[in-house]
Structure formats: structure tokens, C-alpha cells
Amino acid sequence: MAQPAVVYEECVTHESSWDADEALTAVYTAHYTSLVRLGALLLRDTGTAEEIVQDAFVAMHARWNRLRDPHKALAYLRTAVVNRCRSRQRHLVVVDKHTPRTLPDEPSAEQAVLRTEETDRVIEAMRTLPEKQRTVMVLRYYGDLSEAEIADTMGISRGSVKSHAARASKSLRQLLEQNA
Amino acid sequence: MSNDPNDPFDELMRRSLHEEADRIEPSDALPEIRARAHAQRSAARRPWLLTAGLAAAGTAAAIGAFTMLNGPDNTADDGDAVAGSTTTTTATVVPESRTPSVAIPSPAPSQAPTEPPSTSPSAKTVSPTDRGVPEPAVKSTVVPVYWLGQQVGAQKKSAARLYRTWAKVSGRPAEQAVRIMTTKQPTDPDYYSVWRGAALNTVTRSNGIVTVDFKQLPKSNLDPDLAKVATQQLVYTVQGALQDNKTPIQITEAGRSSGKLFGQIDTGTPVSRAAAGEVQALVWIDSPSENQMVAPKVTVQGVAAAFEATVNYEVTNLKTRETRKSFANTAEGQKFSPYAFQLTLTPGAWQISVYLLSDQDGSVTDTDTKSIVVK
């Protein structure tokens, strides 16, 4: 490659070994895709999920001096993405009441690889859940987060996480058994 | 929540959500995120940093862009023929030469070009006399779309420069070109746009002015240099599609001029094309295009404004790391001028880098790279 060495005009001296750009590149490389996927599961709209995740990365970059740690950065991103998706979802629900059937539904056509029937049923069933319950389930089963991490990310108590999860599981089990 | 690791319900949920998630493959957004991140910082304090060797994963871009050399004059300088002109003095060497029909826009049956935009589907907020008429729609044409790319060795001036790709469109060429510029990801992962999120309304011309009206302009604030180049990105793209690089561009939002574009550029008056030397990348590759499949004998063509007319290149086999280095000459030195060189490559993935060296210290100042696959 003829790419020249990195040109830094300014000596960046942080306590962390990474500056904001390096952190951005590293965290992006490791987590961008999975964060978009997380957002898309919450919103069912890949384009909006991408926008939201990009905003979150821009915010993370601005705040790197305070974060200074890739793990904290990831937690920050996750929280930012989940919060923004949730508020977007609430907005969409309101809009949806007035303009029926306009909820962005599926990833765009080029990504619409056929799902298995099983996944189809689960995703359909997830749609019936209230927003908080669905968020808890996505974070638990896609994000593989612990109860404590889910509580932190959503800004609710562990007790609430437990009860949302319990209610969600109950409804889902019922729905899936019915349709099985 | 169930804590039994073997609960089939847990398994099902995990499997289904992962399967659903895996269907989503976002395109690369790092350049854009970086641009926005830097634009938001106090631009004066921190210069643009270049992080070399980014993991710029698959941008299987939505644009069916392909490249060709379109004659030296289209990029040569201000006031010369624009991209898309039929002065194909050197285009004959290019395999996928632009179809000759390009220069003869055949108006779509329902859209008489001279009619006021009553036929225009995107009806507007302002009366047609104020806004001029839309360009005629064509069945198929090729338009240049400009993007921003890093100028690697820049120390002082704006670090971003304009790079060009080509896209095949049908409809109104300038509108289509701007739509690509504002909504698509460039094929080359080294390029980016700060126009993402802007929503185009119409492109119309009246005497002496081309008006590009947006439903929504980008909201980001950029540093002055970048804002200038980003504004020229629009000017170059629109003028290229209209094959007219003289007429200035009036940028409006919902029919009105809307204050400072990118927080910097006054849009109260039309914006003229900036000199190529100020904004255009000093070297780029027109052909082959990013990810193009090519025969072993490859002709690389591009445009450069090179000191002593020297364009250096380095070609690397991405697997074996076999590397070849040499240089080619542009037709003329110090000004934008075409260059071409031939390579004979073994099958596999290769990266072609062209670059210019500083006449002062021999460091790399400008570069463009393309990854290709040799059949």
C-alpha cells in the first residue's frame, strides 16, 4: 500500500493509550455491525438503526476523553443506541396510530434473505410485546447481557428487568405454542 | 427469566434473534462517522487526522458505478468542458466507453423539456417562473458523482478533496446524480460524503442559474475548508450531470435560500464552480473502478496534476503481497492532465495505488487506490 504514515499535527496526550480517532476506529471495527443489528431488531428498520448507531458513534468520539476505556465506550454506545431506538419506537407508535400500516417493517429488499419459519414465528410473536418487554428480550437473547447490564442499559431496576422478562417469556411461550 | 441453560425456549429465542440479526449487513460508515465527529469538534483546534489502513469492510455499493477516462478537458480546469462532454479525445482507449447517445438526451414522452413543471412529479412550492424548468429526463446516461476523500499529505489547506465516480442513471441526470450523492455509499471505501441525510427536491434551470432545491439540507456544521469542498461536491456533481460548468448553482431549501450551509457557506447568492486546483483531488484513478473484475492485462487511467508530470504507482497482490512499483507520466505537468499505464497481472485480488510525491521532501501528498480482481 502506498498509504503514508499517519500524519498527526498535534501531539495527543491522553492517559489512555488511544486517542479518540483510534478508539473510534477500533470500537467501530469491533462493534458497529452488531450495534446496527441490535438497533434493527428493536426498530425493525435497518436504515434508521444505522442512523442512530452512527449518531451514537459521533457522540462517543466527542466524549472519549471521559470514557477512555473501550469497555465503557461500548456500554455507552449500547445505552445510547437503546435509548434512541426506544424513543424512536415510542414516536413511531404514536405516528402509527394516526397513519395505519406505515411502520417500517422489514430490512430493505436486498437484505431480505428468507428467514426460516421458526424465526419468522418468533419475530412475529415479538411484535406483539410492549416496547419495554421487547427491548429486554432483545438485549437478553441477542445482546447476551446479564440482568444487571440490561438494567443499566435501560435505566430501570433489576427487579423491573426480571418482571418484564417474565411477562414477555410467558406471552411468547403461549403465542409460540398456539402457532406451533 | 429462565435460568436453565438448556431451556429450549431460551435456545429458540437466541437462535431466532441471531438469525434475524445476521440478515442485516450494514455498509461501511466509518468515513462518514469520522467526518461528522471531526466536524462537530472545534475544527480550528484539531486538524483532520488520517487514520491509515482503516478496516473498510465490504461496501458492495448500491451504485452501479463504473469508470472511464473521459478526456482530459473535463477535469482539466475551470471553464473547460465538463465531465460527460463528448470530447472523447482519449476515451477511445477505454473499453466501456460511454454510449454516444448520452449527448442526445431523449426527452421522455410525457415530459416536454420546455414545459413548465406541471409535468414534474415532484411539484414544488414556488411558481415555475421563479424556479425555472427541470432538465429533460433521459432513458439512460452516465453521470459523474463526486465524493470527498482525504488528502493525505495536507498540512494546511482543506484536507478533503473531490474524487469522481461514474454512475449510470435514468431520469433527470442532475437530480439522479444528486440523489446518489446524498443517499448512497460510494463504491470506493476511501470516499465519503457529508451530504447524507439531505433530501433533494428538484434541480431546475432558469436564465443564468441552476437551482438545486432540497426538502432538507444537511444540518451538520463543518469547518470552513471542508464546508467549501463539500459545497463544491454538489456544484461539480450538478454541473457535471448538466454538462455545463459555467452556470452557478443556487442552493435552496423548500424554495428559499436558507442561511449558512454547513454553518459556513452563504447560500444567499449562487455558488460558482471553484477552480479544480483548489478542490479536486490532485490524482485519481478513473479506470478500473473499485472491485472491478478485469482481464490480466489492465490499463489504469486517471487524471493528475503532478509535479514534473510524474504519477507514481504501486500494485500489490493482496494475497501474496507481490508488489510492483513504477511511475507514469501525465500528458502535461503541473496541471490536471490524463495519465495511463498498463499492467499485466496474475489472477487474484490486487490493489492499485497511485500517488504523488512532494517536490520538497519526497513524502506522499496525494493518493487514490482501487482494489480489483484479476480473472
pLDDT at B226 over 90: no
- The CATH code of the domain that includes B294 is 2.60.40.10
pLDDT for res A171:
94
B184 and B120 assigned to the same domain: yes
What domain count does chain B have?
2
Which of the 8 DSSP states describes residue A111?
A: G
Instruction: Say whether both B261 and B294 belong to one domain.
Output: no
Shared-domain flag, residues B236 and B341:
no
Same-domain status, B244 and B332: no
Q: Is residue B199 part of a domain?
A: yes
Q: How confident is the model at residue B29 (pLDDT cuts 50, 70, 90)?
A: confident
Taking 70 as the threshold, does the pLDDT of residue B154 lie above it? no
Residue A110, min C-alpha distance to chain B (Å): 10
| CB contact A129 to B (< 8 Å) | no
State yes or no: pLDDT of B336 exceeds 50: yes
B228 contact A CB<8A? no
CB atoms within 10 A of CB B122: 13
Per-residue pLDDT, averaged over B310-325, amounts to: 90
A31 to chain B, minimum CA–CA distance in Å? 12
The verdict on residue B84 lying in a domain is no
Establish if A177 touches chain B: CB-CB under 8 angstroms.
no
Q: Which residue has the cell 478537458?
A: B73
Q: Between A3 and B178, whose confidence is greater? A: B178
Chain A contact for B52 (CB, 8 A cutoff): yes
Q: Residue A4 and residue B36: Cβ atoms within 8 Å?
A: no
User: Which of B23, B28, B45, B51 best tests the A interface by mutation, with the highest count of A CBs <10 A?
Assistant: B23
Digit-coded pLDDT (tens) for B54-109: 323 223 232 223 323 333 333 333 333 333 333 333 333 333 333 333 333 333 33
Contacts of A124 in chain B (CB under 8 A): none
Q: How confident is the model at residue A103 (pLDDT cuts 50, 70, 90)?
A: very low
Whole-number pLDDT of residue B352: 93
Which of B25, B67, B83, B91 lies closest to B372 in space, CA to CA?
Answer: B67
Looking at the complex, does the CB of residue B33 fall below 8 Å from at least one CB of chain A? yes
A7 contact residues in B (CB cutoff 8 A): 49-50, 152-155
Using a CB–CB cutoff of 8 Å, tell me whether B316 touches chain A: yes
What domain range is B361 assigned to?
A: 283-374
Which residues pair with residue B337 across a beta bridge? B304
Work out how many CB contacts closer than 8 A connect A with B: 161
pLDDT on residue B109: 39
Q: Please report the sign of the dihedral spanned by the C-alpha atoms of residue A109, residue A115, residue A117, residue A118.
A: negative
Q: Which residue of A has its CA nearest to B37?
A: A58
CB atoms closer than 10 angstroms to residue B111 = 17
In angstroms, the separation between the Cα of residue A101 and the nearest Cα of chain B is 21
ipTM more than 0.85? no
Cell of A30: 469491533
Q: What gap in Å lies between CA B288 and CA B184, rounded to an integer?
A: 20
At A25 the pLDDT is 86
Residue B96 placed within a domain: no
Instruction: Give the mutation candidate from B7, B11, B13, B28 for the A interface (greatest A CB count, under 10 A).
Output: B13
Distances (CA, A) of B13 to A85, A169, B65, B211: 21, 10, 41, 53
Same domain, B250 and B293: no
Residue indicated by cell numbers 434541480: B203
Q: What percent of chain B has pLDDT over 90?
A: 25
Put simply, the answer to whether B51 touches A6 (Cβ < 8 Å) is: yes
Q: Report CA-CA distances (Å) from A68 to A17, A24, A57, A60, B54.
A: 9, 11, 14, 10, 20
The shortest CB-CB distance from A2 to any of B34, B46, B314 is to B314
Q: Do both B191 and B264 map to the same domain?
A: yes
Task: Say whether A25 and B37 touch across the interface (CB within 8 A).
Answer: no
B221 touches chain A (CB under 8 A): no
Distance between CA B292 and CA B370 in Å, rounded? 9
- Min mean pLDDT across A13-27, B250-264, B326-340 is at A13-27
pLDDT of residue B131: 56
For residue B234, pLDDT beyond 50: yes
pLDDT in tens, B266-275: 888 899 999 8
From chain B, the residues in CB contact with A54 under 8 A are 29, 32-33, 36
**Between residues 143 and 172 of chain B, which touch chain A (CB distance below 8 Å)?**
152-155
Q: Is residue B113 part of a domain?
A: yes
Count Cβ atoms below 10 Å from residue B291 Cβ, excluding itself: 18
Stretch 66-95 of chain A: residues touching chain B, C-beta under 8 Å: none
Any chain B CB within 8 A of the CB of A119? yes
pLDDT score at B111: 39
- Chain B interface test: which of A141, A149, A158, A164 (most B C-beta within 10 Å): A141
Distance from the A99 Cα atom to the nearest Cα atom in chain B, whole angstroms: 21
State the Cα–Cα distance between residues B76 and B305, nearest whole angstrom.
Answer: 9
pLDDT the model gives residue A94: 55
For residue B251, is pLDDT > 50?
Answer: yes
Q: Which of A3, A43, A146 to mutate to test the interface with B (most CBs of B within 10 A)?
A: A3
CA distance, residue B78 to nearest chain A CA (Å): 29
Q: Which residues of B166-197 are buried (b: 16+ CB within 10 A; e: fewer)?
A: bbebebbbbbbbbbbbbbbbbbbbbbbbbbbb
| Partner-chain contact B47 A9, CB within 8 Å | yes
Decide if A21 and B22 are in contact by the 8 Å CB cutoff. Answer: no
Q: Give percent above pLDDT 70 in chain A.
A: 76
CB contact, 8 Å: B314 with chain A? yes
Distances (CA, A) of B200 to A108, A130, B3, B178, B180: 21, 36, 52, 7, 10
Tell me the average pLDDT across B172-198: 87
* Per-residue 3-state assignment (H helix, E strand, C coil) for chain B: CCCCCCCHHHHHHHHHHHHHHHCCCCCCCHHHHHHHHHHHCCCCCCCCCCCCCCCCCCCCCCCCCCCCCCCCHHHHCCCCCCCCCCCCCCHHHCCCCCCHHHHCCCCCCCCCCCCCCCCCCCCCCCCHHHHCEECCCEEEEEEEEEEEEECCCCCCCCCEEEEEEEEEEEECHHHHHHHHHHHCCCCCCCEECCCCCCEEEEEEEECCEEEEEEEECCCCCCCHHHHHHHHHHHHHHHHHHHCCCCCCEEEEECCECCCEECCCEECCCCECCCCHHHHECCEEEEECCCCEEECCEEEEEEEECCHHHEEEEEEEECCCCCEEEEEEECCCCCCCEEEEEEEECCCEEEEEEEEEECCCCCCEEEEEEEEEEEC
CATH number for the region A114-180 comes to 1.10.10.10
A116 touching B (Cβ < 8 Å): yes
- Determine whether the interchain pair A123/B55 forms a contact, defined as Cβ–Cβ distance below 8 Å: no
Query: Cβ separation of B40 and A137 shorter than 8 Å?
Result: no
Q: Which of A32-41, B64-73, B128-137, B278-287 is least confident?
A: B64-73
| Shared domain check, B263 and B120 | yes
Q: Do residues B282 and B248 touch, judged by C-beta distance below 8 A?
A: no
Q: Where are the domains of chain A?
A: 15-108, 114-180
Q: Which alpha helices (H) appear in chain A, and where do they start and end?
A: 20-43, 46-62, 64-67, 70-98, 117-127, 131-141, 147-154, 158-179
**Exposure of B269 in the CB half-sphere (CA atoms within 13 A):** 2
Is B69 inside any structural domain? no
